[in-house]
Amino acid sequence: MKRSLWKGAAAALLTCALLLSGCGGPPAKEDALPLDAGGDRQNLPLGKPVTGPVPVVIDCDPGTDDAYALALAASCEQLDIRAVCAVQGNAPLAHTGPNALALCAYLGIDCPVSQGAAAPLSREAVTAEYAHGSNGLGGVKLPDPGRAFDSLPAWDRLYQEAVAAGGELQVIALGPLTNVATALQKYPDLPQYLAKITVMGSSLSGGNITAQAEFNVYSDPEAWQVVLASGVPLTVVGLDVTTKTYLSQDNLAVLLEKEGRASALLKGIADYAATRSSQSGLTLNDALAVASVVNPPVVTTQAADLRVQARPGSGVDGKTTATNPKKGEEGNCQLALRVDNALFQAMLLRMMDFYAAG
């Protein structure tokens, strides 16, 4: 009885923290938005970027916001991208794999590009072409990459890079966690070689694929359970913060006005968003996860115990809930509760400067 009461109190405490963070509401008034008309672009916030270079493997399912995330990652000198892995998710692997390969060539990311899972660990695939277009990139067609996929599948590449980096490797996971979970299952010693996994996914404030579930979790809840139980330091950047990064078409016009070598891609995706009936702007979910690795103050996190429901056919399948860690424990993740929108937008503007420079 005491235990359940305590758990209730813990949940209330975390809920209280979430309420204080203003989840679900508009950006805090003190967050100046450089991309708004009249925003101050002369004094962009700097945050506190990591010194780097941080060796990373980016696991993704491109994906329109994955494309922005890769573009941001490639523009950040703090990241040493050792490999990019593709997983089915926003579109089938037949699209996300070639998209990852083409994006890396287009953005100048010179690393192995591995294909991974074509289906979740133990369920049918769910894709999201309704939000990302039939090819996953909003119909944007990239040049022939002129390079081939890595000979290793994603899980083997991830393990190899982790061992090679001697415990320093970080994983940035921007799609369903199938590839990462498969690697953890195949290589039981993998956790000792991983410094951190940063994941885009989850929501405590309603879903975007069902009323309760966020897409990346809903796609493969069992994979999330594997990763949450792995003991690897985990930062979770979910809809509670990413939805606050929504950029209207007016915001995007300001962001994209400076021409550069990534403009065709980034503008093409923004133009595609303008044609959607659901949401005419862009929520850069995945890019915020990348930003949090490069410049940690862009999100404020709190230790939490995150739980994922894996109950196919039920209304709560893929739902995530969080409680405060038990006393003296650290929880299974650092959960992002607040976002510094001004800093995030400043990072996006610097990305555009990077591509404008050649």
Q: Which is nearer to Ca ion, 104 or 254 (CB)?
A: 104
Of the residues 34, 55, 63, 120, which one makes contact with Ca ion according to CB under 5 A: 63
Number of residues that this document lists for the chain: 358
* Candidate segments 60-68, 120-128, 148-156, 299-307, binder of Ca ion by CB under 5 A: 60-68
Q: Does 305 interact with Ca ion (rule: CB under 5 A)?
A: no
* Candidate segments 109-117, 282-290, 300-308, 318-326, binder of Ca ion by CB under 5 A: 282-290
Cβ atoms of 174 and 183 closer than 8 Å:
no
| Shortest CB 282 distance to Ca ion, Å | 13
* Candidate segments 63-71, 112-120, 240-248, 311-319, binder of Ca ion by CB under 5 A: 63-71
How does strand 299-308 pair with strand 320-323?
Answer: antiparallel
Q: Does 66 interact with Ca ion (rule: CB under 5 A)?
A: yes
Q: In the range 162-221, which residues lie near Ca ion by CB under 5 A?
A: 174-175
b/e per residue, 144-155, with b = 16+ CB within 10 A? Answer: ebeeebbebbbb
Show the binding pattern over residues 5-44: x = contacts Ca ion (CB under 5 A), - = does not.
----------------------------------------
Cα separation, 134 vs 114, whole angstroms: 22
| Shortest CB 201 distance to Ca ion, Å | 9
Q: Which is nearer to Ca ion, 68 or 106 (CB)?
A: 68
- Size of the residue set binding Ca ion (CB under 5 A): 6
| Shortest CB 247 distance to Ca ion, Å | 17
Two tokens, residue 206: 């309603």
Two tokens, residue 103: 């994006």
| Shortest CB 176 distance to Ca ion, Å | 8
Contact positions vs Ca ion (CB under 5 A): 61, 63, 66, 174-175, 286
